[in-house]
Amino acid sequence: MVETLEQVPVAEDLFRWSGDGADLVGTRCRGCGAHYFPKSLSCRNPQCEHKAVEEVLMGRRGRLHSYTVQSYRPPALFRMEPWAPYAIGLVELPNGLRVMGMLTGCALFDIRIDMPLELTVEPLYRDESGRDVMTYKFQPTAEGTA
Amino acid sequence: MRPVYVLGVGAHPWGKFPQKPQLQLAIEALSAALTDARLGWRDLQGLVAASSRFEGGMGWGLHANEVLQAVAESGVPAVNVGGGCAAGGIAVHTAAAMVASGECEVIAALGAERMPKGFIPRPPGCPDDITDTDYLRWVTMGATNPVYWALEARRRMHEFGTTAETFAKASVLMHHNAIANPRARYRAECSVEDVLHSPTVSDPLHLLEICAVSDGAAAVILGSEEQARRLGVPKVAVAGSAVATGQFGDPAVRIPTVSTTVGASAPHTSEVAGAVRHALDRAGMGPGDIDFVELADNTAWHVLAWPEFFGFLEPGQSDWMIEHGQMGIDGKLPVNPSGGFLSFGEATTAQGVLQVCELAWQLRQQAHGRQVPGAKVGLSAVLGLGANGASVVLKA
């Protein structure tokens, strides 16, 4: 018998995932087209008087702009089990946004700036109700497809 | 608008003072500044406080009215300004404006802080959802403050070839400058090896390249030209000051956001770059007129990056400057002769006021053991959480 575990996002309305892949949920300004993540109340472009934003799914792929390895365990609000040093990347998406997120699927010493990445969703820990709590991460993808 | 002069400055030493309430730190700093100005409590015509969120003010943080009620119930106006860690610079700017407008003859700007231990907690009452990015950055990826600075430092290494040794040398310089500063918390020389052998916190940044948190308090007394002449204090003028906020498209990854909408037009760290530019404009000066800077070096990366962002150096030039000793006290652009945040530890809202105290000590040639030779003009630059920036230019 295959056990099917319930999966819940670490925060609601931040990303979506299915067998088809994962998407970040953000907003786009109906006036100037600027993108925001997470969803914003308003457009922030001072030259834009439209201000109304609509929900939009961000591109799934990007390039690594910078990264760091977190060597110390962050305070308790962050749960990751089991804990081990991990990388956080700053990822440039085709729409111009740079998004921070954990990196996965890559040894810490193999991380390179400009490497192509794609969005994925993975469990951080199992909560007290036995559900896997999921967050978004970026993982390396084949060159030329980003 | 009339000219504004620094009448006096004072600061409590930085460190950890569990036995002293924040209010006492504040009163001691303000008292020292009044003594320096040869003034008494009865001479103050107003008080502007940089509001800390951690202690005091019946939940609102340090408040000027609380200080007055504790030590001089004179009825003078109390103004409390926010702006995260930039609040100290904003307080000095606000006090200067109240003198320039003619509202006050003598006024003080004050910052005092006692920092909580360890990681700074989220303020109470914040929602646990996507409307609070300070919640998101923790739960989704555990992004500590050093993570943000490390992302910038790693990118700098990629763009300019900055080495781990160069970052370490920036930290070594800050610690070296502080040795002679009686108010600094860390006053021991350290070597490049010490820095590189200290624990890696967020790669590429080591423990000795990231500022600690401290308790501290600082005060600046400002007044009119007539008051400066009457008191016979050394002539140091507020040549320019400014407050600014972040600009759309700024590529900086701001604490505590999890993304940035990058545009072409905005400078990096635009809240501070904007404040520096306006402060210089108001002084009728350019970067070339500045003899030294006091900037918010939360990390060694800031020592290198900020002078470039604000037009004092070309992009990538700071590495050469550090390697050749040109950011030292005798260099072409002395950076943080005080020893900076790396040697003081950050007492958040008090820091912007302390920077202005150091400008004044330098310009009066009273910075014993750390004096920038012949310093005539100094500039401060500070950043506050929530895209706040402030900058003050003083001139002897």
**Choice among A60-64, B159-163, B261-265 with the minimum mean pLDDT:** B261-265
- Region B172-196: what's the mean pLDDT? 97
Among chain B residues, CA nearest to A103 = B141
pLDDT more than 70, % of chain B: 99
**Residue B178 within any structural domain of the chain:** no
CA gap B389, B89 in Å, rounded:
8
**Residue B384 within any structural domain of the chain:** yes
Contact A38 B200 (CB under 8 A): no
Encode pLDDT of A15-72 as tens digits: 999 888 899 999 999 999 999 999 999 999 999 999 999 999 998 999 999 999 999 9
pLDDT recorded at residue A143? 64
pLDDT recorded at residue B117? 76
Higher pLDDT, A142 or B118: A142
Tell me the three state secondary structure of residue A33.
coil
Name the pLDDT band for B383 (thresholds 50, 70, 90).
very high
Encode pLDDT of B41-65 as tens digits: 999 999 999 987 777 767 777 889 9
Encode pLDDT of B284-302 as tens digits: 999 999 999 999 999 999 9
Among chain B residues, CA nearest to A33 = B261
Out of B200, B203, B259, the one facing A100 most closely (by C-beta) is B259
**Residue A146 within any structural domain of the chain:** no
pLDDT for residue A145 is more than 80: no
**Residue B229 within any structural domain of the chain:** yes
Instruction: Give how far Cα B232 sits from Cα of B6, B228, B235, B340, B374, Å.
Output: 12, 6, 8, 30, 21
pLDDT recorded at residue B76? 97
CA gap B272, B246 in Å, rounded:
8
**Residue A68 within any structural domain of the chain:** yes
Name the pLDDT band for B263 (thresholds 50, 70, 90).
confident
Name the pLDDT band for A4 (thresholds 50, 70, 90).
low
Encode pLDDT of B72-106 as tens digits: 999 999 999 999 899 999 999 999 999 999 999 99
pLDDT recorded at residue A146? 42
**Residue B192 within any structural domain of the chain:** no
pLDDT for residue B385 is more than 50: yes
- Region A73-87: what's the mean pLDDT? 93
Contact A11 B137 (CB under 8 A): no
**Residue B50 within any structural domain of the chain:** yes
**Residue A1 within any structural domain of the chain:** no
CA gap B253, B383 in Å, rounded:
13
pLDDT for residue A103 is more than 60: yes
pLDDT for residue A144 is more than 70: no
**Mutation target among B119, B140, B149, B156 for the A interface, most CBs of A within 10 A:** B140
Per the structure, the count of domains in chain A is 1
Encode pLDDT of B115-153 as tens digits: 887 767 777 778 888 889 999 999 999 999 999 999 999
pLDDT recorded at residue A142? 80
Listed residue (B340, B339, B321) closest to B331, CA to CA: B321
What is the CATH classification number for the domain harbouring B98?
3.40.47.10
**Residue A74 within any structural domain of the chain:** yes
Encode pLDDT of B325-349 as tens digits: 999 999 999 999 999 999 999 999 9
pLDDT recorded at residue B127? 84
Contact B151 A136 (CB under 8 A): no
Per the structure, the count of domains in chain B is 1
Contact A102 B150 (CB under 8 A): no
Q: Is B264 on the interface with A (CB under 8 A)?
A: no
**Residue B141 within any structural domain of the chain:** no
Q: Which domain range does residue B235 map to?
A: 5-118+210-395
pLDDT recorded at residue B235? 92
CA gap A135, A128 in Å, rounded:
17
**Residue B139 within any structural domain of the chain:** no
Q: Which domain range does residue A31 map to?
A: 7-140
